[in-house]
Amino acid sequence: MKASISHIYASAALVSLSSALVYASAISSPEKKDKDEDKDIVVLSPFTVSSGFGATPGGAKDARFFRSSVEQGLFPHPSTITAEGLFSEYDLPLKTRVKSKALLSLNGEAMPAQVLTRPDIRYLAQIGFSSGLDPATWHREPLNLVAVVDKSGSMNGKPLDLVKACLLKVLSQLGPEDQMAIVLYGDRSYVHLQPTSTSERNKEDIESAIDAIVSAGSTNMEEGLRMGFELARESQQTFKGRTRVMQFTDERPNVGDTSAGGFMGLMEAGSRDGIGQTTIGVGVQFGAELAAKVSSVRGGNLFFFPNAAEMEKTFGDELDMLVTELAYDMDLVVHAAPGLRLVGVYGIPGEMLTWEGERDVRFHLSTLFLSKRRGAIYLAFASDAGDLPERSYVEGRPLASVDLSYREVGRNAPIASKLELPLVTNSNASLGLQRGRILVSEYLALKRAMTAHLTENNQEQAYWTISELHGLLAETRDSSLKKERAMVQGLYRSLSKLSGHGE
């Protein structure tokens, strides 16, 4: 059963689950609230969100490594793309039936769908995430940022130049209520910049400290992270706001080391102390295993920057949100309707799923972050082979129900509710569901084609899989998928030559 689970389609419709009106002060650290919470709100790096905020799960936040590898004429390993990373790059909205000002809202919808590489799938459903925070009035909390920078010899040149550009861009987004510190590691680890207020009078000194970083030595990542988290804990004691460690490296963390001093042990200990961690890769192959491990830790997210342009866009547009956590410990149980079996869940790492027969699945999301984009998890359903004659479902009938609970940041009591995934026709499906159908097909087809090419040496299979995906993307009128069309066209041309099908 598990081996067959590789697809998911999207369906979306909006059913608000939270009821409390929560503004930026609700995102405050529960142990550090002032009597007058408005005093903690400052105006920082203003931006506009025309259609409201979204929310996305933690873990991988992009598919840039895979895409950049294709642009270089390479065939990326199938483990280097994750569904959650691909989805996080897109807005996946569901039609709004009820406006909510809740900190976190969940919605659901389902539609008939066909998905590439999975002919058994009959329906795709979407669980959608959004937030009722008002973009016109919301401002993030002050940020205590500890940057942990790999300055080893392998970082010399473009990688370290990109990291320094990252730090300068982040600094430009910080205000007088924020502070920054820098820990460097190579042969040894040390504090390069003590926690320093990022007020205008200090920014020139901080810029000089960033410019002074030079590459040297071997890599001792765990020692650098240990020192970074220690500094974060120490500075957290007197700081009113959120604390986050942001690691920059070209080395793959050893997620197998779960000891107290290993990568995972340090992350988990930091999360228990209310310290989030962002891992940023520059020129390194961050695979699905790392993405899964990072997403399993509260407050963890993961980015890859192949160049300065991608970095500028992300930190310029999204820094405030990638450091803002909305909710923790979301547990969901999906119950398929009679006559259906659940055959795929996409948008979270597969190892986070617990299957209960063929109709029900249980999974856990450690963190949901604020976002400009409405996030999603997609569920794929097939007909139950033992249900004959095959059932048909009418519009409006739920194809599944979802029991869930989660805890909003700033609240101790969990919120429990139930969500239904009603069937809609293809023509009435929300944009998030229609766009999600394409993205799920893309994810599955890319995984299948790269597996055929790299591990099975089956160039014919790889070619025809990418050919189908190329055709699907060519037919869609969704202009937001332009970069996907360009990437797949490059793969299509390369595989056409390899398989003997010409240009």
Confidence of residue 207 (pLDDT cuts 50, 70, 90): very high
CA dist., res. 318 & res. 117, Å (int): 34
Same domain, 94 and 200: no
| Residues 338 and 253 occupy one common structural domain | no
Q: What is the dihedral of CA 206, 294, 302, 51, to 10 degrees?
A: -110
Same domain, 195 and 273: yes
Mean pLDDT along residues 70-88: 93
Query: Mean per-residue pLDDT for 238-263?
Result: 87
Token duo for residue 442: 């893309």
* Lowest model confidence (mean pLDDT) among 86-100, 236-250, 416-430, 463-477: 86-100
Of 9-18, 205-214, 391-400, which one has max mean pLDDT? 205-214
**Percent of the chain at pLDDT above 90?**
66
Q: Which pLDDT does position 114 carry in this prediction?
A: 96
Is residue 433 a part of any domain in this protein? yes
- CA torsion through residues 236, 240, 242, 245, sign: negative
Confidence of residue 253 (pLDDT cuts 50, 70, 90): confident
**How far apart are alpha carbons 126 and 76 in whole angstroms?**
28
Does residue 167 lie within any of the structural domains? yes
Q: What is the mean pLDDT of residues 196-214?
A: 96
Q: Would residue 352 count as lying in a domain?
A: yes
pLDDT confidence of residue 395: 93
Do 88 and 153 lie in a common domain? no
Residues 123 and 183 in one domain: no
According to DSSP, residue 390 is labeled P
Instruction: Return the pLDDT at 97.
Output: 61
> Where among 283, 304, 323 does a domain terminate?
323
pLDDT at 282: 86
Let me know if residue 14 belongs to a domain: yes
Phi, psi (rounded to 5 degrees) for 39: -65, -20
pLDDT of residue 286: 67
Q: Which of 266, 296, 323 is the last residue of a domain?
A: 323
Q: Distance between CA 225 and CA 215 in Å, rounded? A: 17
- Residue with tokens 């993030």, as numbered in its chain: 140
Please report the pLDDT score of residue 284 as a whole number: 66
Residue, of 270 and 316, whose pLDDT is higher:
270
User: Within a 10 A sphere around the Cβ of 412, how many other Cβ atoms?
Assistant: 7
The average pLDDT across 33-45 equals: 34
CA pair distance 228, 222, nearest whole angstrom:
10
Phi/psi region, residue 125 (left: phi>0; alpha: psi -120 to 50; beta: rest), is beta
Question: Is 232 a member of any domain?
Answer: yes
Q: pLDDT tens-digit profile of 255-302? A: 777 788 888 899 999 999 999 999 998 876 666 778 788 888 999 999
What is the tally of structural domains in the chain? 2
- In the prediction, which pLDDT does 220 show? 84
For residues 110 and 123, the answer to whether their CB atoms sit within 8 Å is: yes
Domain that holds residue 292: 143-323
Residue that is last in its domain, among 284, 307, 323: 323
Q: What mean pLDDT is reported for the chain?
A: 86
Specify if 502 maps to a domain.
no
Global pTM value = 0.86
**369: Cβ–Cβ under 8 A, 6 or more apart, which residues?**
55, 56, 57, 58, 301, 321, 322, 324, 325, 326
pLDDT of residue 258: 73
* Mean pLDDT along residues 148-159: 90
- Could you tell me if 116 and 151 lie in one domain? no
Per-residue pLDDT tens over the stretch 324-367: 999 999 999 999 999 999 999 999 886 678 888 767 899 999 99
Q: According to the model, what pLDDT value does residue 51 have?
A: 64
Question: 218 falls in which pLDDT band (50, 70, 90)?
Answer: confident
How many residues does this entry show for the chain?
Answer: 503
10 and 119 belong to one structural domain: yes
Instruction: Specify whether the backbone of 59 is left (phi greater than 0), alpha (psi in -120 to 50) or beta.
Output: left
CATH number, residue 182: 3.40.50.410
Contacts of 149 (CB under 8 A, 6+ apart): 163, 167, 182, 183, 184, 185, 192, 213, 224, 247, 248
Q: Tell me: pLDDT of 1 over 80.
A: no
Q: Please give the full DSSP string across 332-344, using - where no structure is assigned.
A: EEEEEPTTEEEEE
Neighbours of 171 (CB within 10 A): 20
Domain match, 113 and 251 both: no
Res 374: pLDDT: 95
Please, are residues 390 and 404 in contact by the beta-carbon 8 Å criterion? no
Closest CA relative to residue 372, chosen from 317, 297, 411, 333: 317
Q: Which whole number is the average pLDDT over 8-20?
A: 33
Distance CA 271, CA 305 (A): 24
The average pLDDT across 434-459 equals: 97
| pLDDT tops 50 at residue 116 | yes
Does 273 lie in the same domain as 189?
yes
- CB-side exposure of 426: number of CA atoms within 13 Å? 7
Residue 432 has pLDDT above 70, yes or no: yes
189 & 227 share domain: yes
Task: Please provide residue 29's backbone torsions phi and psi, each rounded to the nearest 5 degrees.
Answer: -65, 125
The per-residue pLDDT for 41 is: 30
Q: Are residues 443 and 460 in the same domain?
A: yes
Query: Predicted confidence band at 57 (pLDDT cuts at 50, 70, 90)?
Result: very high
503 domain residue, yes or no: no
Q: Is 60 exceeded by the pLDDT of residue 231?
A: yes
Nearest to 151 by CA among 190, 208, 203: 190
| Residue 283: inside a domain | yes
In angstroms, rounded to a whole number, what is the distance separating the alpha carbons of residues 89 and 360? 28
Q: Does 64 share its domain with 82?
A: yes
Residue 400 has pLDDT above 50, yes or no: yes
- In sign, the C-alpha dihedral spanning 132, 136, 140, 141 is negative
Among 189-198, 219-228, 283-292, 321-330, the minimum mean pLDDT is found in 283-292
